[in-house]
Amino acid sequence: MIRNALLRMVVARLALGLLSLLLVSLAVFAITSLLPGDTAQEQLGQAATPEAVAALRLQLGLDQPGWLRYLHWLGGLVSGDAGRSLVNGQPVAALIGARLPNSLLLAAATAVVSVPLALAIGISAAMWRGTAYDRGVSMLTLSIVSVPEFLVATAAVLVFAVHLRWLSALSYVSSIDSIGQFIRVFAMPVLSLCCVIVAQMVRMTRAALIDQLRAPYVEMAVLKGAGPIRVVWSHALPNAVGPIANAVALSLSYLLGGVIIVETIFNYPGIAKLMVDGVSTRDMPLVQACAMIFCAAYLFLVLAADLCAILSNPRLRHR
């Protein structure tokens, strides 16, 4: 009965996630259709005859009504076929397939570095709140969060690649065959991305934990003789899992779609860059598929955080 209630809640969340994804697909399709310009016109150039443009429109299926094109497109997505690129005729799935692993690798490397770092800094700042350390962390994170990432990335290139010559300014993913090389390739992109997301996570972790440290049950634990480590680890943290998981999910969701600047500066072959290229060439199937991937990743992360919060809360787990 209890298990069922929990299961029902989880299933309901998942169903809601799928529904959101469906609505997102509708929005993505509608918005990309609204984008100014006509793909056929764009491809054939200004000099094309109206007949040629009309013929291409017919060939691309652009003459069909919107809802039909949407259903076609959605059906294709579900079966794994995101259509063909309007620019070079290659399957979109193949284009994305070539780039997505790179993006995921960068995101994973950044997450592996940033999440433990941010949690450690956030938790320690909350434990020693009000001290010089806490104020220092507060100031540092605020300053870092307000520096634009292109500045961080450019500065990193200047320092590590141009002056010190430790690292290469460009990231050639194909040339990785050892750990050392992996670090050399990823150090600067990961550093730049960490600067953006660590600060956010630190601030939110600290706030969530301090919120719990003010609770009466923490005072009670102190009055039972619990030391600071026990107070934080066994009393405050279990209650802060929900908000912290949400902060982490929000920050990580940035790592797929929001990394265009970093990808550009380091010439990293990721998916964000692919999407921007798609926009500039009016390659709608590509743009739509990329947008769907970003939205799905975002929904997945938020959903995971939600499930984390549900499972960490005994009031939801045992009713």
Partner 1 sequence: MADALLQVEGLHVTARNAEGETVTIVRDVGFALARGEVLALIGESGSGKTTIALSLLGYARPGCRIAGGRIQLGETEILSLSAGELRDIRGRRVAYVAQSAAAAFNPSRRIMDQVVEAAMIHGTASRAEAESEAVELFRALALPEPFRIGARYPHQVSGGQLQRLMAAMALIARPDLVILDEPTTALDVTTQIEVLRAFKNVVRQRGTTAVYVSHDLAVVAQMADRIIVLRDGQMREEGPTPQILDAPAHPYTQSLLAAAAPRPRAPGSLPEAAPPVLRVEGLTAGYGPADAGGMPLIPVLRDVGFEIRRGAALGVIGESGCGKSTLARVVAGLLPMARGSMRLGEEALPPDIARRTPDQLRRVQLVFQSADTALNPSRTVAQILGRPATFFHGARGAERDRRVAHLLELVRLPKGLADRLPGELSGGQKQRVNLARALAAEPELILCDEVTSALDTVVGAAILDLMDELRRELGLATMFISHDLHTVRAVCDEVMVLYAGQRVELGAGSAMAEAPWHPYTDLLVASVPELRPGWLEQTAAPRTPEAPASRRSACAFFPRCPVAIPGICDRDPPPLRALAKGSEILCHREEAELLQMLPSRKEALV
Site for partner 1 contains 313 (CB under 8 A): yes
Across 74-108, b (16+ Cβ under 10 Å) vs e yields eebbeeeebbbbbbeeeebbebbeebbebbebbbe
Distance in angstroms (rounded) separating the CA atoms of residues 66 and 75:
14
Task: Tell me which of 143, 220, 267, 280 binds partner 1, using CB under 8 A.
Answer: 220
Distance in angstroms (rounded) separating the CA atoms of residues 200 and 206:
10
Q: Which is nearer to partner 1, 175 or 234 (CB)?
A: 234
Task: Tell me which of 176, 226, 279, 299 binds partner 1, using CB under 8 A.
Answer: 226
Site for partner 1 contains 12 (CB under 8 A): no
Amino acid 235 reads H
Q: Which is nearer to partner 1, 242 or 285 (CB)?
A: 242
Q: Is 91 helix (H, G, I), strand (E, B) or coil?
A: strand
Min CB(130)–partner 1 separation in Å:
9
Site for partner 1 contains 312 (CB under 8 A): yes
Site for partner 1 contains 43 (CB under 8 A): no
Q: Which is nearer to partner 1, 72 or 224 (CB)?
A: 224
Q: How many residues bind partner 1 (CB under 8 A)?
A: 22
Give residue 107's Cα distance to chain centre: 8
Site for partner 1 contains 136 (CB under 8 A): no
Distance in angstroms (rounded) separating the CA atoms of residues 251 and 259:
12
Task: Tell me which of 215, 233, 267, 280 binds partner 1, using CB under 8 A.
Answer: 215
Site for partner 1 contains 175 (CB under 8 A): no
Site for partner 1 contains 315 (CB under 8 A): yes
Site for partner 1 contains 222 (CB under 8 A): yes
Q: Are 103 and 269 in contact (CB under 8 A)?
A: no
Site for partner 1 contains 230 (CB under 8 A): yes
Output the CA torsion sign for 288, 289, 290, 292. positive
Q: Are 176 and 182 in contact (CB under 8 A)?
A: yes
Give residue 149's Cα distance to chain centre: 15
Distance in angstroms (rounded) separating the CA atoms of residues 162 and 77:
44
Site for partner 1 contains 233 (CB under 8 A): no
Window 239-278: residues binding partner 1 (CB under 8 A)? 239
Site for partner 1 contains 216 (CB under 8 A): yes
Q: Which is nearer to partner 1, 12 or 31 (CB)?
A: 12
Identify any residues that bridge with 91 across adjacent strands, giving them in sequence order.
84
Site for partner 1 contains 235 (CB under 8 A): yes
Q: Residue numbers of the site for partner 1 (CB under 8 A)?
A: 215-217, 219-227, 230, 234-235, 238-239, 312-315, 318
